[in-house]
Amino acid sequence: MTRRPARATGKAVPPPGAARGRGRVIAAHGRHYLVAPTDGGAPLQCFPRGKKSEVAVGDLVQYEAASADQGVIVDIEERRNLLYRSDQFKSKLFASNLDQLLIVLATEPFFSEDLLGRALVAADAHGLDAVIVLNKVDVAAALPTARTRLAPYRALGYKILEMAVRGAPEAAREALSATLGGRSTLLLGQSGMGKSTLVNLVVPNAEAATREISSALNSGKHTTTFTRLYALPDGGALIDSPGFQEFGLYHLSEGQLERGFPEFRPLLTGCRFYNCRHLHEPGCAILAAVADGRIAPTRHALYAQLVHEASQVVR
C-alpha cells in the first residue's frame, strides 16, 4: 500500500533490505524532496513513504536508497521546532530545526506591516529569534518612509539591520556575518524583497545550486518557487523560501498570541480578570494602554484579528 504511489509515478522503489541512510532535507517542492546525506554524499531525490507524511526542509530523516540518486524517506527524526502557517483548513510547512527568522523587507516594493507583525508573533510562539532586514536602502526616495514605518518596531526592541544587498554587497556581508554564523536561519518575506539575492551574496555557488535544483524539481528560475537550505561556509545554514502573501496563524493559542506582542507582556498581570482576552473586558490593562497611546491601535488590531482567526479553528 505505502509503495504503490511510487510505482504509479514511475519512481524507483528500494529493493527489500535496501541500505538505510541519514540525511538532511535541503529542498522541498510538493512531495519531492532533496536529501543531503549527513556523511557528505551527493543529494538524493526522495519522496516520502505513505501519502500523508509531511516532510519539512531542515528535517533530519532516515531514507532507504532505491538507487544512487533516488530514495524513500522512511522516518523523520524529532524536530527542535517546526515553523508553519495555517488557515482554517490546512497548514503549510516553512522549515524545521531553526534558530532564527530573518524577516526580509525592502524600501520597495512596499512591504506589508500585517505580514511583518505576523512573522514576529510566529517567531516568538515557535521559540525563534527574529531579526528584521531592511534591504535596498540605496533606493533613497523610498528610504525615509520605510524607516518611519519601522521605527515603532525598533522601539519595541526588535533588531533591525539596514543594508543594500545588491547596491552595497560588501557592507551587507559585513552586517550579516555576525547574525548568520553557526545558526540555522530561515529567510521570510514577500516576493521581490531580495531574499535570494542575499543568499547568493552569502553562500558561494548558491546560484549554480539553485539552477540545478530548478531543473531537478522542474520549477521556474527567477522568483523562488521552492524552499532550499544552503550550508554556510563557516557553519550554520541559510534557508531561502518563496515569497508569500498570507501568514495565517490559526494554530496559535490565545496565550501564545498575547505573549507574541512584547508591548503587552509587562501589562498582562494588570488586567482585572486573570483570563482577560484584552478585547472588550472591563479593567483591561492592555485596552487602557491602547486608549492612552502606549500601545499602537494597529498592533492591538492585529492581535484582535489573530485571536479571531484562532477561534475559527475546530480544535
Ligand X SMILES: Nc1nc2c(ncn2[C@@H]2O[C@H](COP(=O)(O)OP(=O)(O)OP(=O)(O)O)[C@@H](O)[C@H]2O)c(=O)[nH]1
Q: Which residues bind Zn ion (CB under 5 A)?
A: 271, 276, 278, 284, 286
Peptide bond into 297 cis (omega under 30): no
**CB closer to Zn ion, 106 vs 310:** 310
User: By the criterion CB under 6 A, which residues form the site for ligand X?
Assistant: 135-136, 138-139, 164-167, 189, 191-197, 223-224, 242-243
Closest separation between CB of residue 223 and Zn ion, Å?
42
Can you spell out the DSSP letters for 194-223? SHHHHHHHHSTTHHHHHHHHHHHTT--SSS
Distance CA 32, CA 302 (A): 35
By a kind-dependent CB cut-off of 5 to 8 A, residue 139 interacts, out of Zn ion, Mg ion, ligand X, none, with: ligand X
By a kind-dependent CB cut-off of 5 to 8 A, residue 276 interacts, out of Mg ion, Zn ion, ligand X, none, with: Zn ion
Closest separation between CB of residue 232 and ligand X, Å?
18
Closest separation between CB of residue 122 and Zn ion, Å?
22
Q: Grid coordinates representing 7? A: 510505482
Output the CA–CA distances (angstroms, integers) from residue 83 to 91, 204, 214, 239, in the order listed.
Answer: 10, 26, 24, 12
**CB closer to Zn ion, 240 vs 258:** 258
The residue number with the shortest CB distance to ligand X is 243
Closest separation between CB of residue 269 and Zn ion, Å?
10
DSSP 77: P
Distance CA 122, CA 144 (A): 27
User: By the criterion CB under 5 A, which residues form the site for Mg ion?
Assistant: 195-196, 224
| 293, burial (CB in 10 Å: exposed 0-12, middle 13-18, buried 19+) | exposed
Closest separation between CB of residue 243 and ligand X, Å?
3
**CB closer to ligand X, 110 vs 273:** 110
